[in-house]
């Protein structure tokens, strides 16, 4: 048998299974029965991306299977093998979607099955920043559970997103290894067809971020090959079905590494007999570089641990700024006042506290550098959240004097002490802010009286001063804006224009962040944009901004406004925190955030609204944006500002209420504006919403028509 024969026979097997599964389903439910995956706007994403056709019911699924059959040509040629691989993947998607009939939840913990669009959108930023340097798909059972878990752990420690299919899931369970999306180890399912849920993520990345048009199969494969850093590790024994799936992966540009002595295809199907070398071989095959910061601590440090949750019962000690005096602070000192790499703990260390108790903590990172500016202090400080969360067994929430930190018993028992917290801050600040920080020392206080005194005398005045500075930071008050093209790794023509009153749509890049990024790396993703030649004040259009956008989008974008959702709106990449869209009946806009799973009065869910824009294309009427932007005085200024907001999910409304109400009061003299805004508890359809808005006398109802 040739490799071709194996692929073809695996493909035939899966095709046969799919055909009978669809026939059985039609016999049971009828051809009109709806089929869909949950939380996606892309129908059956793989089939839709390859063919451009959406499948909505069993009858259409059967027709689609006929289309798949046409891919199954049988010449002994590479392209035939690849297309058979793709056909196998599509069959797997059909088998999987049948499991979701009638809104069933076919997967049980720990398995996830299908992953919704919001999960993919959330991955955008960490993928472009390299926090997630790659995506591993591990298939089958390792020779031993220990070897399997060691492999998973090795990827996790590098920040690589790991997806698991088949026996490896049982091996993780057997050894009690923690899995879950929050630690970036995602068991998909135990049957081989569930591998399609990993493929589906890669393919939707192309649709969401890459502006790849459904049906453009060649463009799709080019995108996944060049921009999605995924690879497959398939454990022996490989059967024909796995080999056929592997051909599909290779067609998308994902190399397959296996420990089975089988056929080899240079750079694509690689035999590595030694499972302990899978990691190195895979990274080399996909050309993935891992950034390493050497930090001298007794536990792992990786971005995969950022979402780790430490429950009360698992914690050794807690610092809680909502109960006692705590804070974190970066402050600039003179060169002579800072001794590089000094870490001092003043007060009891972790072993001086009883298990499970709450205490005060304050840590002050004192930096000095010729190019350091006070504007960079909050930029550096805001990164502490991410740095400390990357420590295995440490959880950090909040910022400034509202921080909360938990250290797990396991991490404590591994020898972690407060000086290690200092080591983490020191190492990260020195490596990530090398261009501005020449020297850095960390002072850690746990003495209650010291914490109280320093909070009031040192920290609070600094925070107050920063707030004053932020209040005076307006679009009019600065001379330059910044571009951000970080997302071009996925969204090749997208450019964010970041201004003091409009942060990047991912929510992670404020004007100060962009300024610091520019200072740190002048040739990097954030460039200065002047704003001297105004074209139209009302919509915020400038000749120099247009020129910059044209240049940074490689000509894809001609002109962009800063303040309008209708006229030349800013583009979206796909990783936006919120999406805003026009609701015609109420003459306003609805906003949905990524976390919101329900319906909006526009008649679309977040994934559906989000799919209306993206890929760096201008789509009037829809705008991706950061949460913080909702209370900006520049929010849709051209269309009348925040007064246009008629609906938001309740949770989002609560998050932005204080600032949004202040803005509405200042601009229009409206008190408690958020009380006039609908949410899902009030209305999920336009008519009910309108009745609510009329009752509240919402200002949007009497404004000029939006369209």
Residue 540 CB, shortest distance to ligand SF4, in Å, is 17
> 445 to each of 326, 330, 364, 431, 450, how far by Cα in Å?
9, 14, 8, 24, 7
161: tokens are 């997103």
The interface partner of residue 496, options being Zn ion, ligand SF4, none and the CB cut-off 5 to 8 Å by kind, is ligand SF4
Between 193 and 572, whose beta carbon lies closer to Zn ion?
Answer: 572
Whole-number Å distance between alpha carbons of 500 and 403: 25
Residues 479-498 that bind Zn ion (CB under 5 A): 487
Residue 203 CB, shortest distance to ligand SF4, in Å, is 21
Whole-number Å distance between alpha carbons of 516 and 369: 14
Q: Which residue in the shown chain puts its C-beta closest to ligand SF4?
A: 504
Q: Is 118 in the site for Zn ion (CB under 5 A)?
A: no
- Is the C-alpha dihedral spanning 656, 661, 663, 667 positive or negative? positive
Q: Is 83 in the site for Zn ion (CB under 5 A)?
A: no
- Is the C-alpha dihedral spanning 279, 285, 288, 289 positive or negative? positive
Residue 206 CB, shortest distance to Zn ion, in Å, is 14
Q: Is 132 in the site for Zn ion (CB under 5 A)?
A: no
The interface partner of residue 509, options being ligand SF4, Zn ion, none and the CB cut-off 5 to 8 Å by kind, is ligand SF4
Instruction: Considering only the stretches 25-33, 122-130, 370-378, 651-659, report the one whose residues sit in contact with Zn ion under the rule CB under 5 A.
Output: 122-130
Residue 626 CB, shortest distance to ligand SF4, in Å, is 8
Q: Give the x-and-dash track for 308-347 against Zn ion (CB under 5 A).
A: ----------------------------------------
Between 446 and 491, whose beta carbon lies closer to ligand SF4?
Answer: 491
Between 221 and 509, whose beta carbon lies closer to ligand SF4?
Answer: 509
SS3 labels along 185-203: EEEEECCHHHHHHHHHHHH
Q: Is 124 in the site for Zn ion (CB under 5 A)?
A: yes
Between 262 and 572, whose beta carbon lies closer to ligand SF4?
Answer: 572
Which H or E run contains 376?
helix 376-382
Name which of 90, 115, 97 is nearest 34 in CA terms: 97
Whole-number Å distance between alpha carbons of 676 and 678: 6
Where would I find the beta strands (DSSP E) of 74-174? 135-139, 161-165
Instruction: Considering only the stretches 74-82, 263-271, 364-372, 570-578, report the one whose residues sit in contact with Zn ion under the rule CB under 5 A.
Output: 570-578
Between 432 and 438, whose beta carbon lies closer to ligand SF4?
Answer: 432
Residue 574 CB, shortest distance to Zn ion, in Å, is 6
The interface partner of residue 249, options being Zn ion, ligand SF4, none and the CB cut-off 5 to 8 Å by kind, is none
Torsion of CA 176, 178, 179, 184, to 10 degrees: -150
Residue 254 CB, shortest distance to ligand SF4, in Å, is 24
State the DSSP string of 638-651. Answer: GGTGGGGEEE--HH
The interface partner of residue 244, options being ligand SF4, Zn ion, none and the CB cut-off 5 to 8 Å by kind, is none
Q: Is 573 in the site for Zn ion (CB under 5 A)?
A: yes
278: tokens are 């899978």
50: tokens are 């390859």
Residue 302 CB, shortest distance to Zn ion, in Å, is 22
Between 14 and 562, whose beta carbon lies closer to Zn ion?
Answer: 562
Residues in contact with Zn ion, total (CB under 5 A)? 4
List contacts with ligand SF4 (CB under 6 A). Answer: 125, 484-487, 496, 498, 504-506, 508-509, 573, 575
Name which of 192, 172, 220 is nearest 96 in CA terms: 192
327-332 and 578-583 beta bridge pairing? unpaired
The interface partner of residue 421, options being Zn ion, ligand SF4, none and the CB cut-off 5 to 8 Å by kind, is none
Residue 518 CB, shortest distance to ligand SF4, in Å, is 12
CB-based burial label for 48 (10 Å; 0-12, 13-18, 19+): buried
The interface partner of residue 582, options being Zn ion, ligand SF4, none and the CB cut-off 5 to 8 Å by kind, is none
Q: Is 689 in the site for Zn ion (CB under 5 A)?
A: no
Residue 609 CB, shortest distance to ligand SF4, in Å, is 17
Residues in the chain, total: 707
What does the DSSP 8-state code read for residue 96? H
Residue 503 CB, shortest distance to Zn ion, in Å, is 13
The interface partner of residue 95, options being Zn ion, ligand SF4, none and the CB cut-off 5 to 8 Å by kind, is none
The interface partner of residue 484, options being ligand SF4, Zn ion, none and the CB cut-off 5 to 8 Å by kind, is ligand SF4
Residue 526 CB, shortest distance to ligand SF4, in Å, is 8
Whole-number Å distance between alpha carbons of 672 and 217: 51
Name which of 610, 585, 569, 608 is nearest 678 in CA terms: 585
Are 391 and 411 in contact by the 8 Å Cβ rule? The answer is yes
Between 125 and 202, whose beta carbon lies closer to ligand SF4?
Answer: 125
Whole-number Å distance between alpha carbons of 210 and 229: 14
Residue 505 CB, shortest distance to ligand SF4, in Å, is 5
Between 91 and 575, whose beta carbon lies closer to Zn ion?
Answer: 575
Query: What contacts 343, CB < 8 A, 6 or more positions away?
Result: 419, 422, 423, 426, 441, 442, 444
Task: Using CB under 5 A, pick the residue from 192, 242, 283, 575 that binds Zn ion.
Answer: 575
The interface partner of residue 508, options being Zn ion, ligand SF4, none and the CB cut-off 5 to 8 Å by kind, is ligand SF4
Between 139 and 485, whose beta carbon lies closer to ligand SF4?
Answer: 485
Whole-number Å distance between alpha carbons of 660 and 641: 11
The interface partner of residue 85, options being ligand SF4, Zn ion, none and the CB cut-off 5 to 8 Å by kind, is none
637: tokens are 């200024």
Query: What contacts 470, CB < 8 A, 6 or more positions away?
Result: none
Between 169 and 487, whose beta carbon lies closer to ligand SF4?
Answer: 487
SS3 of 555, please? coil
315-320 and 404-408 beta bridge pairing? antiparallel
Q: CA gyration radius for the chain?
A: 27
Residue ranges binding Zn ion (CB under 5 A): 124, 487, 573, 575
């Amino acid at each position: 048998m040739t490799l071709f024969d194996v692929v073809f026979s695996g493909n035939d097997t899966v095709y046969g299974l799919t055909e009978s599964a669809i026939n059985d389903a039609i016999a049971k439910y009828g051809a009109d029965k709806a089929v869909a995956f949950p939380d996606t706007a892309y129908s059956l994403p793989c089939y839709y991306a390859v063919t451009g056709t959406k499948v909505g019911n069993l009858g259409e699924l059967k027709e689609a299977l006929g289309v798949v059959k046409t891919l199954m040509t049988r010449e002994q040629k590479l392209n035939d093998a690849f297309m058979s691989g793709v056909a196998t993947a599509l069959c797997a998607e059909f088998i999987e979607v049948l499991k979701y009939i009638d809104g069933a939840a076919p997967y049980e913990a720990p398995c996830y099955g299908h992953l919704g669009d919001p999960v993919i959108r959330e991955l955008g930023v960490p993928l472009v920043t390299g926090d997630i340097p790659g995506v591993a798909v591990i298939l089958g059972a390792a020779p031993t559970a220990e070897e399997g878990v060691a492999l998973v752990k090795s990827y996790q420690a590098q920040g690589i997103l790991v997806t698991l299919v088949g026996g490896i899931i049982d091996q993780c369970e057997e050894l009690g290894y923690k899995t879950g999306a929050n630690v970036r180890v995602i068991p998909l399912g135990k049957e081989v067809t569930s591998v399609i849920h990993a493929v589906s993520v890669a393919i939707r990345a192309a649709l969401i971020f890459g502006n790849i048009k459904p049906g453009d199969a060649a463009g799709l494969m080019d995108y996944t090959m060049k921009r999605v850093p995924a690879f497959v590790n398939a454990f022996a024994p490989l059967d024909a079905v796995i080999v056929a799936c592997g051909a599909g992966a290779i067609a998308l540009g994902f190399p397959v590494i296996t420990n089975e002595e089988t056929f080899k295809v240079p750079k694509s199907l690689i035999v590595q007999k030694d499972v302990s070398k899978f990691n190195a071989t895979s990274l080399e095959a996909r050309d993935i570089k891992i950034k390493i910061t050497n930090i001298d601590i007794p536990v792992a440090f990786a971005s995969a641990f950022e979402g780790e949750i430490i429950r009360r019962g698992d914690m050794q000690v807690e610092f809680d700024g909502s109960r006692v005096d705590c804070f974190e602070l970066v402050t600039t000192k003179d060169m002579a006042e800072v001794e590089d790499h000094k870490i001092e703990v003043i007060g009891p260390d972790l072993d001086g506290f009883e298990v499970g108790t709450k205490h005060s903590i304050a840590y002050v990172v004192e930096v000095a550098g010729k190019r350091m500016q006070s504007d960079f202090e909050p930029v550096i400080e805001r990164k502490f959240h991410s740095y400390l969360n990357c420590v295995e067994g440490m959880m950090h929430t909040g910022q400034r004097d509202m921080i909360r930190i938990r250290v797990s018993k396991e991490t404590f028992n591994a020898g972690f002490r407060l000086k290690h917290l200092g080591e983490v801050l020191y190492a990260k600040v020195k490596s990530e802010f090398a261009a501005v920080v020449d020297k850095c020392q960390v002072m850690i206080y746990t003495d209650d009286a010291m914490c109280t005194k320093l909070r009031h005398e040192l920290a609070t005045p600094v925070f107050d001063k920063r707030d004053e500075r932020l209040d005076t930071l307006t679009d009019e008050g600065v001379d330059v804006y910044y571009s951000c093209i970080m997302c071009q790794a996925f969204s090749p023509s997208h450019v964010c224009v970041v201004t003091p009153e409009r942060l990047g749509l991912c929510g992670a890049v404020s004007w100060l962040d962009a300024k610091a990024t520019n200072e740190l790396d002048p040739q990097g993703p954030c460039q200065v944009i002047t704003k001297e030649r105004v074209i139209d004040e009302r919509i915020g259009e400038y000749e120099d901004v247009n020129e910059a956008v044209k240049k940074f989008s490689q000509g894809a974008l001609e002109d962009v406004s800063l303040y309008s959702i209708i006229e030349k709106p800013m583009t979206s990449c796909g990783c936006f925190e919120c999406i805003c869209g026009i609701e015609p009946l109420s003459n306003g806009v609805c906003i949905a955030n990524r976390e919101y799973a329900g319906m909006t009065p526009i008649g679309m869910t977040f994934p559906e609204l989000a799919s209306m824009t993206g890929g760096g294309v201008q789509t009037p009427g829809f705008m991706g944006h950061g949460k913080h932007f909702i209370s900006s005085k520049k929010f849709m200024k051209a269309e009348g500002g925040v007064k246009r907001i008629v609906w938001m999910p309740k949770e989002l409304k609560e998050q932005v209420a204080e600032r949004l109400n202040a803005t509405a009061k200042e601009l229009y003299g409206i008190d408690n504006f958020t009380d006039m805004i609908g949410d899902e508890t009030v209305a999920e359809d336009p008519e009910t919403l309108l009745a609510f808005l009329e009752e509240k006398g919402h200002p949007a109802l009497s404004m000029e028509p939006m369209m």
